Amino acid sequence: MSDLELFASATGELPTNNPGLTPDQVVPRIARLANFLHGQRNNRANLTDHQVSRLEALPTFSWTPLADAWAANVSDFGAFFEAEERRPSSHSKEPRERQLGQWGIEQRRLIRGVSGRNRPTAERISQLEAIAGWDTSEPRPRPRPNVERLTDFVSTHGRDPRQKQIRKAVSAMEREEHYLAMWLSKQRTLAKRGQLDPDSRAQIELALGRELV
């Protein structure tokens, strides 16, 4: 346990097993700690209160990391679509967008049964189908206008939205702010290039209470 705590303190994250690595790419210490952590989660019922407390004090620790990662992907995919009015790209240079794009492709493959892995449960399929922008067979839902969301954010927080380091531990509110900040940054770029239409610029500046620079 002490070695796990040292690793988490030094790296700010927990060790994980990466099934995509070849045997010669696996770091023995990380693999050992990841296996130990997996065993602790599975043995929760037999752990002492002190052992539980030490585990829960680790950065980003969760008893259900896979379920948490799933929930974060569902939330982030929908938030991205509402902010960008498009799906995340699996080829994006932005790491989190690329992850979401690849995750979306994999879920569709799983649903179609062409991934070689188990099909998602009915509950998970329902969650996927409820994501804004997920089902292309239906008319694309109209996302809430970003300028309205920007107006609400500035009115509530008194500042512009800021991009975040998106990890599974951040809140839904932080994710919303992150994708709203991405959209605002895009509008600034368009404005600098002279490609933002005057009406949109005026609405954004009204929401910000100042010029869009």
Task: Dump pLDDT digits (tens) for 97-154.
Answer: 999 989 988 888 888 876 667 888 899 999 998 887 786 554 444 455 788 888 888 8
Q: Which residues contact 123 (CB under 8 A, 6 or more apart)?
A: none
pTM of the model: 0.57
Which amino acid is residue 18, in one-letter code? N
pLDDT the model gives residue 137: 54
